[in-house]
Each structure stands twice: as structure tokens, then as C-alpha cells.
Amino acid sequence: MSIDTKHFHGKFALVTGASRGIGRGIALRLAERGAAVAVNFLQNEPAALDTVARIKSGGGEAFAVQANVAHPDELAEMVRHVHDQFGALDIFVHNALGDLLGFMSPPLQVTLEQWNAALECQQQAFLVGVQTAAPLLRDKGRIIAMSYWPGSHLGGFLPYFAMGTNKAAIEAMCHYFAVALAPRKITVNAICPGITDDSIVNHLPQPAVDAMVAWLLEGWNPTGRQGTPADIGGAVAALCSDDAGWITGQTIVADGGASLMNPEVPLVFQRP
């Protein structure tokens, strides 16, 4: 990894859930652009330290910080610690997902425990994270939330009910935060990754992963491939750039065009 200091030199970022997968892709891409990055992790410290090592090997600045974003006190303390460690904060990325398999359940069977688990690591964590980070962010800062496009548009993937609805709420929260922080030129946006390799998708049972990827490769993604953590990191970096300062309160879908395909029409009529 080589560092391009022309973009984010002198800027400081905190990425939650950045030890691996999409979070790691985001951390690496921001570091490549010159930002110093705090790499949050929950349990997998070796993976977080590996992310830090990759950044440092390219000449970047990074450190790992442990916290459970579902616990408000831990999350708020982490944000303040990162600010104190860096001396400033410019970018806050809400990415940590929580225990995917723990809260997967259809809407008529989901328990309050599962629902609350999803809420605590999503709506609650985003609320606490932004409320804590906003006063510490420098003007023209960036807040990015990882979301899930089908959560606010579709309803077919029933086991993802708790997470999908919480992600939809986060997109709505971005609208309100964007207006509240606009006077300081801090932008707030959501990014919805599609099916991404080396991501939380890989935590599903292997037959489910294989079926999802095979379906995608049949033509339901017009680019003919899965996304990568680097793809999503690139989308985050783009929204964090100075050129994106006029974009706020938006939901950006980074899925290679998968959401453009029409499920009512056979693929034979949709292929170029």
C-alpha cells in the first residue's frame, strides 16, 4: 500500500468495525489518501493490528482501539479517546455491524432480544457516535454510515428484518443530522454496499454464500462480479473528499448496478 498525501493529509479518521472486511477496506483507502486512521475492533485484536500494520507499512499513521459500539459509554469514550490521541477529528465512519447470525430472524418470529441487539449496534450506536463525534469534528468534517439499500426499499429477505429496518432508520437519521450540521459544512451521508467479498456475508453458512454469489453472477449484477472492500473504501473516500462538500443527507448505493436490475423481467431481456 502506498500513501497519497495529496488528498487527506493532516486529516484524522475513526472507522468502527475496521479490523477486517469492509471496515478494513475503508480504513486502508482513507490511509492511502493520507488520513491518519483509528481502527476500531471488538474482539479480533490481531486482525485490527494487521490493518494498522498494513497502513504503517505504506508510511501511514494508525492505531487500534477496542470498544463495543453497542455500549454507549464505551463508544463515547472511544470517540473522545481517538480525538485526544490525534488532537483532532475530521471523519467518523459508522461501520460496525454486530452479531449478524445472532439477530437474524423473520419479522413474525424475531424476539425482543434480537431486535434490541440490532438496534443497539445500529440506530443507538449511530446516534451516540454522531452526538459524541459532532462537537469534536472540525468544520467541513465528514460522517458516513454504512447502510443496506434493500432495508428501506424491499422486504423479501425476511431473516434480515431486524437489521434491514435499523439500516433504513439510519438513512433517515442521516437526513436530520445533515441539516443539523450543515451550518458547520459537515456532511452526513449513507453508503449501501452490495454483496461484497470478504465481508459480513462470508459469516453466513457456506451454502448460503455460494447460492448468493451464484445468483449474482447469473446476471443480477451487470458488472458480473461481487464488490470488494476496496470498492466500498473508494466510495467512502470519494464522499470524504473536498469535491463532495456539496453532497449531504444522501444514500449512495455502491453495488455495481445490482439494484438497477428488474426482478419482474427475465434476465435475457436485461443483458446488454
Q: Which of 11, 56, 148, 160 is catalytic?
A: 160
Position 1 confidence tier, pLDDT thresholds 50, 70, 90: low
Residue 232 is which amino acid? I
Q: What is the pLDDT of residues 230-257, one digit of tens each?
A: 999 999 999 999 999 999 999 999 999 9
What pLDDT, on a 0 to 100 scale, did the predictor assign at position 4?
Answer: 57
Question: Helix, strand, or coil here: 193?
Answer: strand
What pLDDT, on a 0 to 100 scale, did the predictor assign at position 21?
Answer: 94
With helix as H, strand as E and coil as C, how does 141-191 read?
A: EEEEEECCHHHHHCCCCHHHHHHHHHHHHHHHHHHHHHHHHHHHCCEEEEE
Q: Measured between alpha carbons, how far is 118 from 191 in angstroms, rounded to an integer?
A: 18
What pLDDT, on a 0 to 100 scale, did the predictor assign at position 198?
Answer: 73
CB contact set of 112 (below 8 Å; sequence gap of 6+):
none
Grid coordinates standing for 35?
Answer: 488520513
Residue 59 is which amino acid? G
Q: What is the pLDDT of residues 82-102, one digit of tens each?
A: 999 999 999 999 999 888 778
Q: Considering the entire predicted model, what is its pTM?
A: 0.94
What pLDDT, on a 0 to 100 scale, did the predictor assign at position 151?
Answer: 85
What pLDDT, on a 0 to 100 scale, did the predictor assign at position 163?
Answer: 92
The sheet with strand 62-66 has its strands ordered as 62-66, 36-41, 12-15, 89-94, 137-146, 187-193, 251-254
Q: Which of 11, 56, 140, 167 is catalytic?
A: 167
Q: Measured between alpha carbons, how far is 203 from 235 in angstroms, rounded to an integer?
A: 23
What pLDDT, on a 0 to 100 scale, did the predictor assign at position 183?
Answer: 98
Contact 92, 130 (CB under 8 A): yes
Q: Read off the pLDDT of each residue in 47-55 and give the average, rounded to a whole number.
A: 97
Grid coordinates standing for 11?
Answer: 486529516
β-bridge partners, 142:
91, 187
Domain residue ranges in the chain:
5-200+228-261
| Assigned fold of 5-200+228-261 | Rossmann fold (3.40.50)
Range from 46-55, 67-76, 96-105, 123-132 carrying the lowest mean pLDDT: 96-105
β-bridge partners, 13:
37, 91
**Is 160 known to be catalytic?**
yes
Distances (CA, A) of 90 to 10, 78, 143, 194, 249: 9, 15, 8, 26, 17
What pLDDT, on a 0 to 100 scale, did the predictor assign at position 5?
Answer: 53
Q: Read off the pLDDT of each residue in 2-26 and give the average, rounded to a whole number.
A: 87
CA atoms within 13 A on the CB side of 118: 25
Q: Read off the pLDDT of each residue in 52-72 and give the average, rounded to a whole number.
A: 97
Position 218 confidence tier, pLDDT thresholds 50, 70, 90: confident
Distances (CA, A) of 11 to 4, 86, 242, 244, 260: 13, 9, 12, 16, 35
**Is 176 known to be catalytic?**
no
- Which residue, among 268, 261, 236, has the nearest Cα to 154 in the 3D structure? 261
Residue recorded with cell 473508494: 234
